[in-house]
């Protein structure tokens, strides 16, 4: 009779416990535990029209526009707003990052007049850009020169220097396809003009919309003339009509 070797018995037991034994000394095979199927994740589809816009405003957005800068004012008389760039894809309108912004000191108006210190409400093309700084690489026509030098102080005593480092002309009462410095006023001088998207100076504007310098640069790099970009701007209540 063969007397078992205690050390060999201990080693075999150890291998079985660790799952490292030979085929002749494998532990019993158990059927794998059935796992519940992972829940399906349904992503919300992109909106088929720009959020926050009512039928009247939406009807003004050109059907061929595939980029829209939506400026939403906090209130009709507020100088605070937000800016979001939307891109239209096959799935719908995809939003970008939301940026804080300033608009005119007295808020918004549907009938802008020169010197009323309100930003015009509406949907306008974005075709031309420029600035005191060199072209950062935008696909929009870009006019670079000292004519974009800003001086003086704003309504809250803040310096205006650098405000026009980057600008995008809003096609309100202007001739598209020209430098933002072109002062042609098709509706007449009394209806104002010179409405731009430009660098924020930490205070209300006279009629423009302003965002941080890095956001202006990002916007210039993103806008593509082939996508027929527009700006949709106004206080939230007006845009919802």
Question: pLDDT: is 188 or 22 the higher one?
Answer: 188
List, for residues 168-220, the tens digit of each pLDDT value: 999 999 999 999 999 999 999 999 999 999 999 999 999 999 999 999 999 99
Confidence of residue 18 (pLDDT cuts 50, 70, 90): very low
The confidence score (pLDDT) of residue 36 equals 53
94 within some domain: yes
Provide the whole-model pTM: 0.81
148 within some domain: yes
Structural domain harbouring 231: 55-239
Residue 14 in this model has a pLDDT that exceeds 90:
no
43 within some domain: no
Segment 1-29 shows an average pLDDT of 35
186 within some domain: yes
Three-state SS letters, the chain: CCCCCHHHHHHHHHHHHHCCCCHHHCCCCCCCCCCCCCCCCCCCCCCCCCCCCCHHHHHHCCCCCCEEEEEEECCCCCCEEEEEEEEEECCEEEEEEEEEEECECCCEECCCCCCCCCEECEEEECCCEEECCCCCCCCCCEEECHHHCCCCECCCCCECCCCCCCEEECCCCCCCCCCCCCCCCCCCHHHCCCCEEEECCCCCECCCEEECHHHHHHHHHHCCHHHCCEEEEEEHHHHCC
92 within some domain: yes
Residue 12 in this model has a pLDDT that exceeds 60:
no
Number of compact structural domains in the chain: 1
24 within some domain: no
Among 186, 218, 184, 185, which Cα is nearest to 199's? 218
Share of the chain above pLDDT 90, in %: 80
The confidence score (pLDDT) of residue 48 equals 86
Q: How many Å apart are CA 64 and CA 53, to the nearest integer? A: 17
List, for residues 141-153, the tens digit of each pLDDT value: 999 999 999 999 9
Confidence of residue 9 (pLDDT cuts 50, 70, 90): very low
111 within some domain: yes
List, for residues 102-138, the tens digit of each pLDDT value: 999 999 999 999 999 999 999 999 999 999 999 999 9
14 within some domain: no
The chain-wide mean pLDDT, for the chain, equals 87
The confidence score (pLDDT) of residue 43 equals 45
Residue 3 in this model has a pLDDT that exceeds 80:
no
Residue 29 in this model has a pLDDT that exceeds 60:
no
């Amino acid at each position: 009779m063969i007397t078992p070797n205690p050390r060999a018995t201990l080693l075999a037991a150890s291998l079985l416990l660790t799952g490292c034994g030979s085929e002749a000394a494998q532990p019993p095979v158990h059927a794998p535990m059935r796992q519940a199927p992972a829940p399906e994740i349904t992503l919300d589809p992109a909106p088929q029209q720009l959020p926050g816009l009512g039928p009247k405003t939406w009807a003004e957005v050109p059907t061929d526009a595939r980029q829209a800068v939506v400026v939403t004012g906090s209130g009709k008389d507020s100088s605070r707003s937000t800016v979001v760039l939307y891109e239209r894809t096959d799935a719908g309108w995809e939003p970008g990052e939301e940026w804080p912004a300033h608009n005119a000191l007295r808020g918004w108006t549907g009938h802008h007049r020169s010197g009323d210190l309100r930003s015009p409400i509406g949907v306008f093309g974005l075709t031309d850009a420029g600035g005191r700084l060199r072209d950062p690489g935008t696909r929009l026509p870009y006019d670079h020169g000292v004519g974009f030098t800003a001086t003086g102080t704003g309504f809250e005593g803040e310096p205006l220097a650098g405000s026009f480092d980057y600008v995008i002309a809003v096609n309100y009462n202007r001739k598209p396809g020209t430098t933002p410095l072109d002062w042609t006023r098709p509706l007449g001088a009394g209806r104002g003009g010179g409405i731009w998207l430009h660098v924020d100076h930490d205070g209300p504007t006279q009629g423009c919309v302003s965002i941080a310098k890095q956001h202006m640069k990002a916007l210039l790099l993103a806008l593509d003339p082939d996508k027929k970009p527009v700006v949709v701007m106004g206080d939230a209540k007006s845009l919802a009509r």
